[in-house]
Structure 1
């Protein structure tokens, strides 16, 4: 494997880690402008992280290893997933290990770590948030699996770099009924997985509605900085996954430095555009009632299932 492949892996990790707070700040800024406010600026998440890192970590009495290890585990699983998912290049040293099952399992592992941390606190809020989070995850993870699996049927493999390469060579796959159903299902799953409106509101602490925030209320200082960074990285990673699967043009498929540079620029442009669209949509969307969330996610699962069926029949007919 050439040096370009190793550079691509390192570039993906750096792009997700360093770019995640910037993407969050950009989305907050877009939303503030649309609401008629000035906003705190794109760099505000980095300022918040610096402030939290200077504070003393506080661990509630009675908590165990699950609470202490969850922030680091959340960030670590996201970093490994960022190395596997072809955000910049499909020709990397780890491309052969970037299987759909592995990627979704790593994402689920981070979710499970936070849920265990919420239960470990022994508080009512922690248990409530963990219960809600696992209810959402039980519907979200299968939806992500089926959505990408619908694209893997014509590719003949569940290896994500191979799926992306096939989509670049045959763009008609993405415009097929299976591709359109898959992108709709995956979009809803990403909103739920990252705790965005209409499933969850990342800026609220109302006990009747919050899901993610309820699990992390007991964190402070550097631990809270890691939790927030992990959540921002997951949002960046999943938006990057959506762009790689359904707008794959620009991703380097060869070991070329020029292609890698172009891929980095286009990745930033795609994330900026997707972040702006998501932030603008959240201004006009309302959060659905908590008891209606399973209905929404069940609908997305049905779309993913229809995408798999359509992909199977279309592939068989061809």
Structure 2
């Protein structure tokens, strides 16, 4: 019975996170616009775009297979499952879900036979080979201190020594990973449609309507999952004696701070060339290794 209650609570948290994800994406867009002296879209614009896409029918090429048709649903299910695991899940299960959803989306980009889709899929897998080992080492820094890969235990361990040197190294490394995993400048540009520079956008060029809406919904949810991981594991400090409501509001403040930080990074840097990404991720890898050794 207790296990059933835990599952229901996890699903409820996941549903709330997924519904809030477009709002966080909208806050990042508004912050970028203000930093660039533009009016930009409203904070609710992402909801309007998703609502419009989810109401439209999808145009599907006759050359595609079941992989193309199911990939958006698998991608969304992976993001939803990762959100559900944030409360009481295992680190490796969360990473496997995200990796599997990425794999199916990359396969779908090849399935349509589009030149740009294949280019985007190959670039996505190239970046994933660089990002995923660094992500694993960074997370193991916290897991080693906790003696467990359960995210709840890792969060409790992080709160004990939030400003130690290993955690600072790991926090900087995870921030670099956060930029790469969410497809943001300087690794990728989520707002571009230039064929020679786009990565994630190239993978979804053949999608339209509901399937495209699901992909954008899943991408926003995945982004919020990584922001929450950063806020919970690498910004764990909070004043003592807070009520549950105050604790929740404190977490919301850290999420908003991270979202604005992403907007600042995007507005103050340029899109780097693809062959410079290994050096950028190598920096994150060195910081993650230093954090693990310094435990």
Normalising by structure 2, report the TM-score.
Answer: 0.93
How far the C-alpha of 1:114 sits from its partner, in A, is 0.9
Preserved contact between residue 142 and residue 157 of structure 2 (Cα < 8 Å): no
Matched residue, 1:243: 231
CA distance in structure 2 between the partners assigned to 1:31 and 1:263 by the alignment: 28
Matched residue, 2:287: 303
CA distance in structure 2 between the partners assigned to 1:8 and 1:263 by the alignment: 18
When residues 231 and 218 of structure 1 are mapped into structure 2, their CA distance, relative to the original with a 3 A threshold, is same
Q: Say yes or no: does 1:198 pair with 2:173.
A: no
Preserved contact between residue 100 and residue 145 of structure 1 (Cα < 8 Å): no
1:220 equivalent among 197, 208, 229: 208
Where 2:294 maps in the other structure, the secondary structure is helix
How far the C-alpha of 1:62 sits from its partner, in A, is 0.8
Preserved contact between residue 123 and residue 199 of structure 2 (Cα < 8 Å): yes
Q: Say yes or no: does 1:14 pair with 2:47.
A: no
User: Could you report, residue by residue, the CA deviation over 1:142-200 in whole angstroms, capped at 9, with x for unpaired residues?
Assistant: 111100101111211122211111222x2x2x322211111111111111111011100
Matched residue, 2:219: 231
How far the C-alpha of 1:225 sits from its partner, in A, is 0.4
Where 2:189 maps in the other structure, the secondary structure is coil
Preserved contact between residue 130 and residue 211 of structure 1 (Cα < 8 Å): yes
CA distance in structure 1 between the partners assigned to 2:146 and 2:8 by the alignment: 26
User: Could you report, residue by residue, the CA deviation over 1:295-314 in whole angstroms, capped at 9, with x for unpaired residues?
Assistant: 21122122212221111xxx
Q: Say yes or no: does 1:266 pair with 2:250.
A: yes
1:185 equivalent among 170, 173, 177: 173
Preserved contact between residue 139 and residue 301 of structure 1 (Cα < 8 Å): no
Preserved contact between residue 79 and residue 222 of structure 2 (Cα < 8 Å): yes
Unpaired runs of 5+ in structure 1?
87-94, 252-257, 312-318
Where 1:85 maps in the other structure, the secondary structure is helix
CA distance in structure 1 between the partners assigned to 2:15 and 2:237 by the alignment: 21
When residues 81 and 263 of structure 1 are mapped into structure 2, their CA distance, relative to the original with a 3 A threshold, is farther
CA distance in structure 1 between the partners assigned to 2:6 and 2:104 by the alignment: 31
When residues 248 and 10 of structure 1 are mapped into structure 2, their CA distance, relative to the original with a 3 A threshold, is farther
User: Could you report, residue by residue, the CA deviation over 1:94-148 in whole angstroms, capped at 9, with x for unpaired residues?
Assistant: x2xx222111111111111110010111111111111100010011111111001
Normalising by structure 1, report the TM-score.
Answer: 0.86
Count of matched residue pairs: 292
Unpaired runs of 5+ in structure 2?
none
